[in-house]
Copies of this chain bind each other. A is one copy, B any other.
């Protein structure tokens, strides 16, 4: 067996590596579900696999099982999934992970990379099943569950494998070192070994679990580290499927499946801090709230910590060519998955003097109205609302909308009221269209817009002028964290200042984009996701630093005999 999987996927990995090098477009997978290699039956069997899991114990045999756990509720049906997962004793998972390590460490990097690529391949086989799981836990639309949480997430996983391969290949395994000491010549044979850190704990989030999970899992596995996956208690199923597939492939390759395990907790009795401070945790990969994320970053030592949390993503609208196109793109992006993405924009800054456009100056007020109208037309269009808005993952988001609505109406003006929309397929879906509030930039308003308001909540914020708009947007990123930023300007000097400003504040900038691509789409192999320069996280998908410290180098040397 050994390198069979690597040979099978060698070309794919090489093509992915090429794409990482020039950061051009690449995907291992066809762009749309209808082109899945399994044909239409793949979609149907995915759906049916999901349905059959409901009401049953989840089939996952792993050691240390001390009970059953799981209380997921579908955002689409608001009914319990009623799937019962193994509840694990964390100490047992670490113990068995350690037992599984030696053979995995002894396997060469290509063998490990091959196993990881085969896991990717089999997850693609089951991407419809996984998409159903994402829909009915995270609340994503069918398409986003397939493309964003499926193929795109797998591509991000493969991207991490590319960097893992390069980092490991950078270390020569043997050297002969020769030097004169006085009249003698010494020759030393040196051997270098790659040694993994130890067990990695991968925390996954409620709204987009697989997207950060796959890169973390594969970066760890490829470099030799076992993985314990700790999903958010409301979105277990996508990760349970991934863990099951990973364990299957690992066993098929002749290794101990306990290299990957699932560790669950409940909202009432969280295990997060226990796992971060566990004496056998060597690496923590965390995706989740900024609040807990900060604690993890500060307390993970001596474990390494890689984090993605969240932030206040901003839009600056200084001047535009085609206002309709801009408004349409913004409306779609502000609505996409009800803004429950770490890349969704929240604060839109507009100069009080208005926006220059090809059709003349548009007042800030008019801009706000037009944006609200465009967003309303999405929310009230039965054919568009469901695929774009999808469902609300957590009931607490609806409560947040309510409280921000109240405060916003007091301090500013409600441009667009949030309301449930009728989902054509799931009449009991938990839905809520975006709330949009008009404010004036002001320190007294910062309690409203100065931090992340997770969910479909946006602010159109008037600033004294265009420079102030930029200053506010970049300050939001630096202070509260931001992954993305968006700019509309016809002024190249202004664009240049914005590029520099957002670069300093560590937000990835998209300028003057309109058209069919969601503004916040992040392409695997091309778009670096999270800079580490602001509080939105410290780990970039994917740069060299994301993988290089996950293994260490040990050496032994001895005189060359003879």
Give chain A's interface residues, CB within 8 Å of chain B: 21-25, 31, 166-167, 170-172, 175-182, 184, 186, 188, 190-193, 195, 197, 297-298, 301-302, 495, 499, 502-504, 506-517, 523, 526-528, 531-533, 540, 543-545, 548-549, 552-559
User: Separation in Å of the A160 CB from the closest CB of chain B?
Assistant: 14
Q: Contacting A554 at CB < 8 Å: which of B21, B190, B526, B531?
A: B531
User: Hey, which chain B residues are within 8 Å of A557, CB to CB?
Assistant: 508-511, 513, 527
Q: Are B512 and A558 in contact (CB under 8 A)?
A: yes
Complex Cα–Cα for A439 and B428 (A): 76
Could you pull out 20 A-B pairs where Cβ atoms are within 8 angstroms? A170-B544, A177-B526, A179-B523, A181-B515, A184-B516, A186-B515, A191-B499, A195-B504, A298-B301, A502-B554, A502-B556, A506-B552, A507-B554, A508-B556, A509-B554, A512-B558, A513-B558, A533-B554, A543-B553, A545-B548
Given contacts A195-B531, A503-B193, A543-B548, contact A554 B175 (CB under 8 A): no
User: Separation in Å of the A215 CB from the closest CB of chain B?
Assistant: 15
Q: Are A172 and B21 in contact (CB under 8 A)?
A: yes
User: Separation in Å of the A306 CB from the closest CB of chain B?
Assistant: 10
Complex Cα–Cα for A394 and B15 (A): 58
Q: Are A177 and B510 in contact (CB under 8 A)?
A: no
Q: Are A556 and B181 in contact (CB under 8 A)?
A: no
Q: Contacting A555 at CB < 8 Å: which of B22, B188, B528, B555?
A: B528
Complex Cα–Cα for A533 and B551 (A): 9
Which residue of the partner chain B has the closest CB to A175? B23
User: Hey, which chain B residues are within 8 Å of A176, CB to CB?
Assistant: 24
Complex Cα–Cα for A521 and B516 (A): 61
Q: Are A179 and B548 in contact (CB under 8 A)?
A: no
Q: Are A23 and B301 in contact (CB under 8 A)?
A: no
User: Hey, which chain B residues are within 8 Å of A507, CB to CB?
Assistant: 554
User: Separation in Å of the A384 CB from the closest CB of chain B?
Assistant: 15
Complex Cα–Cα for A23 and B301 (A): 31
User: Hey, which chain B residues are within 8 Å of A495, CB to CB?
Assistant: 558
User: Hey, which chain B residues are within 8 Å of A171, CB to CB?
Assistant: 543
Complex Cα–Cα for A379 and B514 (A): 79
Which residue of the partner chain B has the closest CB to A498? B556
User: Separation in Å of the A269 CB from the closest CB of chain B?
Assistant: 27
Q: Report which residue of A175, A523, A552 has the largest number of chain B beta carbons within 10 angstroms of its beta carbon.
A: A552
Q: Are B556 and A516 in contact (CB under 8 A)?
A: no
User: Hey, which chain B residues are within 8 Å of A166, CB to CB?
Assistant: 170
Q: Are A556 and B499 in contact (CB under 8 A)?
A: yes
Complex Cα–Cα for A526 and B188 (A): 11
User: Hey, which chain B residues are within 8 Å of A21, CB to CB?
Assistant: 172
Q: Are B23 and A192 in contact (CB under 8 A)?
A: yes
Q: Are B513 and A195 in contact (CB under 8 A)?
A: no
Complex Cα–Cα for A532 and B282 (A): 11
User: Hey, which chain B residues are within 8 Å of A548, CB to CB?
Assistant: 543-545, 548-549
Q: Are B553 and A531 in contact (CB under 8 A)?
A: yes
Q: Are A559 and B513 in contact (CB under 8 A)?
A: yes
Complex Cα–Cα for A260 and B179 (A): 35
Q: Contacting A503 at CB < 8 Å: which of B181, B510, B554?
A: B554
